[in-house]
Structure 1
Amino acid sequence: MNDNIKIYEPSNRNKGFISIIRDMFADLFTSKDLAYRLFIRDRKAEYRQSIFGILWAFFTPLATTVTWIFLSSSGAVKIEGTHIPYPAFVFLGTMLWSVFVESLTTPLLQTQSTKDILAKVNFPKESILLSGFYKILFNTAIKIILIAAVLLFYGIKVNSGVFFFPFVLFLMIFFGYSIGLLITPIGMLYKDIGRAIPLLASFAMYLSPVVYKGGTAGTMAKIIELNPVTPLINSSRNLLTGGAWDNPIYLLGILGVSILLFFIGWLFYRIAVPIIIERI
């Protein structure tokens, strides 16, 4: 008769911080294939029984672009100081903003869409985060193709700065994703978070240089200047259109904050989400 007794305990109990971090990276590495399968599954499900398919990802930015072009051309709103044609300026701004907002909302949406699976099957939670990141990169690649078409249409010349554009764009995605990752556990507990994010994002767009450049004086100009999304959008748009970096020191600060937020959010997600799933 076997007298050995096996005791099961929560996986993170009695584990040190270093051990938890090691497990996080190990699970991230081993979940790549599962994340890819989840990504393919979600893409097929998203565009099933849809006439326009992936084009839905661009209707909102395009609608915003058309609205502001109409307001500008009709004289209702006077936009000056753009170094490229205004339609191209606002199109690039809305596309870049949509990349940031998608990065911000994806961790919560991705986790909510898989909560039924999480409640029944034990698998690395990192695969959910990674599949969401794949989704962002996929949609961003399509947006870049459209942006390139607009640049060609307006004959906008680029220079060597365009080679730095992917790095700034990735920083924008990373920054938005890190914030989204941090608020995901709270959003899983309170649905108000998921409903509030699109409303706040719509308001925050007008505090960013998306459809106009930041002002030169006043409170509004100061808010836009301090907004961390401002140098990300301005630098991305400038590097695409022959311009220069916008506030590179601030960009380095955003990179540092993003790394810190990402690891805090990842640790919070890994510990909190299994507990939250059991509760809901």
Structure 2
Amino acid sequence: MKIDRSERIDERHSAVRTYVPDARFSATSYEAIRALFKEVWGYRSHVANMFSSDFRSSYRGTMFGIFWNFALPLVPLTVYIFLVNLRVFPRHDGLAPAIFIGFNVTIWSLMTGMITRPIQVLKSRNKESMKTSLPISVSIAASFGQLCFDTLVRLGLLVLMMIYFAQWPHLNIFGFAGALLVGMVFSLSLGLILAVFNVIIPDTSRVVTILLQYGIFMSGVIFPLTSLGGLVVLEKINPFAAVIKSSRDFLFTGRHSDSIVLLIWGGIAFILFMIAMRFFYVMERRIRGID
């Protein structure tokens, strides 16, 4: 039987397609964390450019320009300081009411921002990211730049209030940094998980918004939980309340009366972080439609 030469050539050069399992699905938590940090570091110039672009666009075309970037983060604090001047809030833990609430609101805004920003970024930039090779983790990292800036502005006002009220801190730097790290890790982990769920179930972001609006009263931000009767138990079972109280104690008294609670939440935050990073790493390409 004679075989045509062109058929032999096609048979020799025919492509073989091999299907392999998604490599990300088999990644460990450690591999996921290393890969995500490597992504952000590799795109660090993009992170800086995206933050710079968002920072300028927030005041572009306005009369007062960059002034708004400093004024708007202070609005929540100034509202409560105004209420303090009306003698709505008493003195707590030996702190001036303005400092007590100003500090609490600053830490609360930082923690809740690390939850809501991943949700917002994934919701608003998912379609954009699907058209490019830019990882969503880079967009989330860039959004945290604005959150850090807002926090620094609020801390600046807090320092001025401490000078005005002559309320000098007795800083335990390691304790304060540890408490703040626990809160940030817990919030980031929760934010990454909820961001993915919000893509699948769009009602997630609305539920989170409602819970956080009530949560500010259940976390000792405005009134100490010790003054709310039975709700004092939330100081231990509410991670936001535990972190805010611990970081405030370490900053202003240099010690903390219940470090065991903070250590427990630190362990929970670490476990949640390991789960969240792998979950986000596995799901990122799937929600972008790549895998």
Shorter-chain TM-score range: 0.7 to 0.9
Aligned-pair distance for 1:80? 5.4
Q: Is 1:150 aligned to residue 161 of structure 2?
A: yes
Could you tell me the TM-score, scaled by structure 2's length? 0.80
Aligned-pair distance for 1:213? 1.8
Give SS of 1:158's match. Answer: coil
| 2:60 pairs with one of 40, 43, 48 | 48
CA distance in 1, matches of 2:16, 2:59: 47
Give SS of 1:237's match. Answer: helix
Give SS of 1:123's match. Answer: coil
Q: Could you say which residue in structure 2 is the equivalent of 1:209?
A: 220
Give SS of 1:191's match. Answer: coil
Q: Is 1:268 aligned to residue 283 of structure 2?
A: no
| 1:61 pairs with one of 77, 96, 101 | 77
Q: Deviations over 1:217-266 (max 9, x none)?
A: 84312234321122211122223323522522222222222222223222
Paired residues, what number?
Answer: 274
- Aligned pair in 2 of structure 1 residues 239, 63: CA closer, same or farther (>3 Å)? same
CA distance in 1, matches of 2:103, 2:38: 38
- Aligned pair in 2 of structure 1 residues 8, 155: CA closer, same or farther (>3 Å)? farther
- Aligned pair in 2 of structure 1 residues 191, 46: CA closer, same or farther (>3 Å)? farther
CA distance in 2, matches of 1:229, 1:139: 19
Aligned-pair distance for 1:4? 6.7
Give aligned-pair identity as a percent.
18
Give SS of 2:45's match. Answer: helix
CA distance in 2, matches of 1:37, 1:11: 35
| 1:223 pairs with one of 231, 234, 237 | 234
CA distance in 1, matches of 2:199, 2:115: 15
CA distance in 1, matches of 2:48, 2:19: 30
- Aligned pair in 2 of structure 1 residues 6, 143: CA closer, same or farther (>3 Å)? farther
Aligned-pair distance for 1:152? 0.9
Q: Could you say which residue in structure 1 is the equivalent of 2:15?
A: 5
- Aligned pair in 2 of structure 1 residues 143, 170: CA closer, same or farther (>3 Å)? farther
Q: Is 1:107 aligned to residue 123 of structure 2?
A: no
Aligned-pair distance for 1:157? 1.5
Q: Deviations over 1:20-50 (max 9, x none)?
A: 5354443243232322222222222233234
Gaps of 5+ in 1: none
CA distance in 1, matches of 2:58, 2:20: 35
Aligned-pair distance for 1:61? 3.5
Aligned-pair distance for 1:162? 4.8
Q: Could you say which residue in structure 1 is the equivalent of 2:197?
A: 186
Q: Is the 8 A contact 1:182 1:261 kept in 2?
A: no
Q: Is the 8 A contact 2:92 2:100 kept in 1?
A: no
CA distance in 1, matches of 2:287, 2:197: 9
Greater shift in the superposed pair: 56-65 or 184-193:
56-65
- Aligned pair in 2 of structure 1 residues 116, 16: CA closer, same or farther (>3 Å)? closer
Q: Could you say which residue in structure 2 is the equivalent of 1:238?
A: 249
Q: Deviations over 1:154-192 (max 9, x none)?
A: 101222425643442233222211111111111123332
Gaps of 5+ in 2: 1-8
Q: Could you say which residue in structure 2 is the equivalent of 1:35?
A: 47
CA distance in 2, matches of 1:87, 1:26: 41
CA distance in 1, matches of 2:185, 2:127: 27
Aligned-pair distance for 1:151? 0.9
Could you tell me the TM-score, scaled by structure 1's length? 0.83
Q: Is the 8 A contact 2:226 2:232 kept in 1?
A: yes
